[in-house]
Structure 1
């Protein structure tokens, strides 16, 4: 039973770490995407 509990705890910690990593990646990609969109709009505005 203790082995099972240790396995569950380690799995939960692993998934929490993966979820945190995904959240950070998603946050960074959304920021970079937003900046790229602003940059593209500025370029289009300049070309107009």
Structure 2
């Protein structure tokens, strides 16, 4: 009942793996943007100083 269809691709990029990768990418992208802004603007990004 829960078996895969016969024409399912046997690649390591399963549907669940792709979704997890997209979630990790979506979580990591804002962190990377904040790091880049912090490097560019220094400590002035979050307050005076």
Pair in the same fold by TM > 0.5: yes
Bigger RCO (CA 8 Å, 6+ sep)? 2
C-alpha RMSD of matched pairs (Å): 3.2
The number of aligned residues is 38
Partner of 1:41 in structure 2? 40
Q: Which runs of 5+ in 1 are unaligned?
A: none
C-alpha distance in 1 between matches for 2:43 and 2:27: 24
Query: TM-score by structure 2 length?
Result: 0.55
Q: Which runs of 5+ in 2 are unaligned?
A: 45-49
More helix by share: 1
